[in-house]
């Protein structure tokens, strides 16, 4: 894999980050809803910073974005990528755990929080310690994630995640226990003949209905029209 991933308006170095640029990150960055009132955003587990950069592009640098990561090399690489982007003055990266960050910040500080969180629960732990921390919930449980989001999210704010479909049912229950309810679900499958494999989910408070959408990524071995349209402002 090349160290540098080139998008239309920015480049991402992912040589040192525990997780590289991937489909899940691009789906979340391009697929989540971002309101015009989003002025202060938080990226939990920023990795190389690709999702934060996509949000910066979509908001034209009008939203201040903080990326945090428990992995020091990832946080450093995100900061490197942020500084070289067109929106460097609105992006920052911090090396810290979510608990540390949450305990140091005021309640309701962020009106947009997004994350591509760890999702493996009982599977065999990856021998690569850094990658294991990025992918397995022993480093950040979904309970802990939702608890901190509940503290940090503003009353009218939005929380967005991308998760494997088979992890989402349990995550949805945990989020609901903190009053975070899904109002939009983008169910993504590899092709139109396969069931959804991942879900981009958007949560807020006091939501009574949930909008469900579906999309598949490939058609005859190339990007589907829907996926191409979703990512046209990013992929070359």
Domain ranges of the chain: 4-230
| pLDDT at residue 141, rounded to an integer | 93
| pLDDT at residue 206, rounded to an integer | 82
| pLDDT at residue 19, rounded to an integer | 82
- In the 8-state DSSP scheme, what is residue 90? G
C-alpha torsion sign, points 118, 61, 22, 70:
negative
Give pLDDT tens digits along the chain (236 positions): 579 999 999 999 999 998 889 999 999 999 999 999 999 999 999 999 999 999 999 999 999 999 999 999 999 999 999 999 999 999 999 999 999 999 999 999 999 999 999 864 655 545 555 454 444 445 689 999 999 999 999 999 999 999 999 999 999 999 999 999 999 999 999 999 999 999 999 999 988 899 999 999 999 989 999 999 999 999 98
Query: Which token pair is 180?
Result: 């975070």
Among residues 194, 196, 192, 149, the alpha carbon closest in space to that of 174 is found at 149
Query: Which token pair is 194?
Result: 């396969």
For the 4-230 domain, the top CATH level (class) is alpha beta
List of residues 6+ apart from 95 with CB closer than 8 A: 68, 69, 70, 71, 72, 75, 76
Angle between helices 72-83 and 50-58 (to 10 degrees): 30
pTM here is 0.92
List of residues 6+ apart from 74 with CB closer than 8 A: 16, 17, 18, 19, 46, 47, 48, 130, 134
């Amino acid at each position: 894999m090349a160290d540098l991933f080139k998008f239309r308006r920015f480049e991402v170095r992912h040589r040192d980050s525990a997780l590289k640029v991937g489909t899940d990150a691009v789906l979340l960055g391009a697929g989540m809803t971002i309101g015009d009132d989003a002025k202060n955003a938080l990226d939990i587990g920023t990795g190389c910073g690709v999702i934060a950069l996509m949000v910066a592009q979509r908001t034209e640098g009008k939203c201040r974005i903080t990326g945090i990561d428990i992995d020091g090399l990832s946080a450093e690489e995100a900061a490197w990528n942020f500084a070289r982007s067109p929106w460097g003055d609105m992006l920052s990266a911090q090396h810290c755990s979510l608990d540390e960050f949450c305990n140091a910040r005021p309640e309701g500080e962020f009106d947009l929080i997004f994350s591509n969180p760890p999702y493996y629960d009982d599977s065999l732990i990856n021998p690569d310690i850094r990658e294991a921390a990025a992918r397995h919930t022993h480093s950040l449980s979904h309970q802990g994630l939702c608890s901190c989001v509940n503290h940090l999210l503003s009353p009218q704010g939005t929380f967005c995640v991308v998760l494997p479909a088979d992890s989402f049912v349990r995550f949805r229950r945990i989020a609901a226990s903190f009053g975070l309810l899904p109002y939009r679900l983008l169910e993504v499958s590899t092709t139109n003949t396969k069931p959804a494999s991942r879900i981009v989910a958007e949560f807020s408070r006091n939501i009574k209905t949930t909008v469900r959408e579906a999309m598949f990524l490939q058609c005859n071995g190339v990007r589907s029209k829907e996926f191409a349209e979703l990512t046209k402002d990013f992929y070359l």
